[in-house]
Amino acid sequence: MASWDHWVEAALSRLASKKLLRSTRPISVPLPPSPRDPPEGLETFDGPRHWDRSSVEIEIEETTLREWLNELPSPGGEFIGEDEKVGGKLLLFSGNDYLGLSSHPAVRRAAAKAAQEVGMGPRGSALICGYTNYHRRLEASLADLKKKEDCLLCPTGFAANLAFLSALGSVSSLLAVGRKPSKDERIAIFSDALNHASIIDGIRLAEQRQEAEVFVYRHCDMSHLNALLSCCKMEKKIVITDSLFSMDGDFAPIRKLVELRKKHGFLLAIDDAHATLVCGENGGGVPEVHECENDVDICIGTLSKAAGCQGGFIACSSNKWKKLIQSRGRSFIFSTSIPVPIAAAAHAAVTVARKEKWRRIAIWSRVHDFYSLTQLNITSPIISLIIGTEEAALSASRHMLKSGFHVTAIRPPTVPPNSCRLRITLSAAHTSEDIRRLVAALSGWIQFPALEQNYQIASKM
């Protein structure tokens, strides 16, 4: 990484000489006198409580349910008849609040307290007036969680990927003083074929500005990646991948990526959006599971999933990257930073998630429950049941809705045509009984290996 250090340093000094080096301006928010003392400290619990259910139970009116059902195009055009009984409660299996933290008292209290004290600020981008101690504290806790030198908050996870990739591209422009970078001077970006849309858009931005050349490797195919890297004569290489793929629920082969990094000397950036707080003893994500935090240079994440809040972040191996991104990351610079109550709530969520380890144990037990009942080869709380055509996936989703489950059909452009699917997400707030009922409802639609096996055993008896 010595050469990357050198290139980033050179890019920073170019920025400084052009008076374009930016830094955030922490501000303190004056506190109005409080009518009564807020509860001391941060409250944590040793197991699920009644409020946890509110993150997976939703209620909708019968008319709304009917509207939902009728909105879905169906070949038969059928709708629920007047005499059909439809419960107004649905069990949610499509959210990303993996640990159920969005309803945690400490998270809600932190948001409410900050809103009472400060209001909804921050009224500007982080470079103008939208950067407070609340933001700084959250950045520090995320840097610590990810074992990185520093961290930069962004308005969303989507914005975080855009900011990182636009800043990355700027390295080649900044170094090619006063002209477009030649092909060899550009950044060679190697990207998994199933990376998240925000990575794709960030790459497109860099490509369009003629700052990068893009090499898309087949999904998780390390031989293909190795071959592409071996053929590439460009100097500034980076590999970027989702760590846990949002639509397929499989993991990137992180150990093999680390081996390839050693061999080819590229910069390794991962989008740990779905694994942060879900994977690893402390919730540090995929790098913590594989004890390779030091081999991952940039770890991007979001606070909108397991943290149950909102906002994105970029944890960087060195503060130089943070300086570069905050000076060149367009979606960071030109967007209002997250509101103070959200920053306060997210900080509480990260703290709670680290302390309440039972939540990680619970979600992985639900993954195991689902596996035991179906024998499907699943590896994470994201379960992708590929159905095929759009019509079939919509019918399956409608069937689940009628059975009391909110499970969405995922269609193009999110996934390729004819690989439409039901995407099921599990949460620590689900119970084993929820999973049993879910599988029973799904089995009216999908043939599971375990049920097939049971059927075969039963028919032989």
Q: Which residues bind ligand PLP (CB under 6 A)?
A: 156-158, 161, 196, 198, 242, 246, 271, 273, 302, 304, 312
Q: Between residues 187 and 342, which has the closer beta carbon with respect to ligand PLP? A: 342
CB of residue 260 to ligand PLP, shortest distance in Å: 21
| In the complex, minimum distance from the CB of residue 200 to ligand PLP, in angstroms, rounded to a whole number | 11
> How distant, in Å, are the alpha carbons of 82, 386, 443 from that of 448?
33, 12, 7
Whichever of 24 and 156 has its CB closer to ligand PLP, that residue is 156
Nearer CB in complex with ligand PLP: 97/242: 242
Tell me how far, at minimum, the Cβ of 279 lies from ligand PLP, in Å.
14
Q: What minimum distance in Å lies between the beta carbon of 299 and ligand PLP? A: 12
**With respect to ligand PLP, which residue has the nearer C-beta, 402 or 411?**
411
Nearest distance in Å: CB 330, ligand PLP: 15
Residue 414 C-beta: closest distance to ligand PLP, Å: 10
Nearest approach in angstroms of CB 16 to ligand PLP is: 31
Smallest separation, CB 352 to ligand PLP (Å): 19
Beta carbon nearer to ligand PLP, 139 or 434: 139
Cβ distance to ligand PLP smaller for residue 55 or 156: 156
Q: Which of 206, 156, 163, 143 is nearest to 22 (CA)?
A: 163
Task: State the nearest-atom distance from the C-beta of 303 to ligand PLP, in Å.
Answer: 7
Output DSSP code: residue 344.
H
10 vs 197, which CB is nearer to ligand PLP?
197
Q: Which residue has its beta carbon closest to ligand PLP?
A: 157
* Residue closer to ligand PLP, measured from CB, 156 or 408: 156
Beta carbon nearer to ligand PLP, 98 or 158: 158
Least separation in angstroms between CB 302 and ligand PLP:
3
Strands 187-192 and 236-242, by their bridges, are: parallel
Residue type (1 letter), 343: A
In this complex, which beta carbon is closest to ligand PLP, that of residue 161 or of residue 317?
Answer: 161
Give the separation between CA 152 and CA 64, rounded to whole angstroms: 40
CA distance 279 to 258: 18
